[in-house]
Chains A and B, each alone.
Chain A
């Protein structure tokens, strides 16, 4: 199970952090990923981090502005977002990569709204 918190509304240029608490599986054994979905649009992969947090990857649209991290002692995944833009407005989902190259467990989603 993945339970998300954080997010909310922010002005352009602002920052937000979204958290994702995992339970029911061995958290440190899995790649974890963030996916977002803008209103009325399909999902978009945002970032990923490997089991021990040493490898991270980002979509070009967020590279240099977003940072993914994890605390395996607390079974928690984070997405720190800076320099937010209107086009970052979306529902953000944390997901587990338990099946090869797939997103097999999803959080409930967190709304992030960037507007002046």
Chain B
């Protein structure tokens, strides 16, 4: 099972919006309504931001939103803040292959 494709880096200024893409196949991203997104700061465990493509767990700011079109999912971070600087990973259920994560995107707040 190949890792999901993400851009290695993204950036934006405070207050701006940034969108990170996550491309898979019809066997994972496009086949199940199960894409999730995680934020990871250096030396810390990942934190769940989005599940089921676009649902936010309680406590996650509504600046974070998710969507999907075909085999590509997207995470949008609106109103960028300095603390949003981190690595972001997508993940999808992949049926009999379990779960597959993305390679990660390093978000820099300029």
Contact = CB atoms under 8 A, between A and B. Distances in A.
A57 interface: yes
B38 A43 contact: yes
A45 B1 CA distance: 11
B79 interface: no
Given A57-B98, A59-B98, A99 B51 contact: yes
Given A42-B103, A43-B91, A103 B98 contact: no
Contacts of B7: none
B14 to A, nearest CB: 27
Contacts of B1: 60
A101 B32 contact: yes
Contacts of A44: 101
Interface in B67-110: 89, 91, 93, 97-104
Interface of B: 1, 3, 32, 34, 36, 38, 45-48, 51-52, 55, 57, 89, 91, 93, 97-104
19 contacts: A42-B101, A42-B103, A42-B104, A43-B89, A44-B101, A45-B99, A58-B98, A59-B98, A60-B97, A93-B45, A99-B48, A100-B34, A101-B34, A101-B36, A102-B34, A102-B48, A102-B52, A103-B91, A107-B45
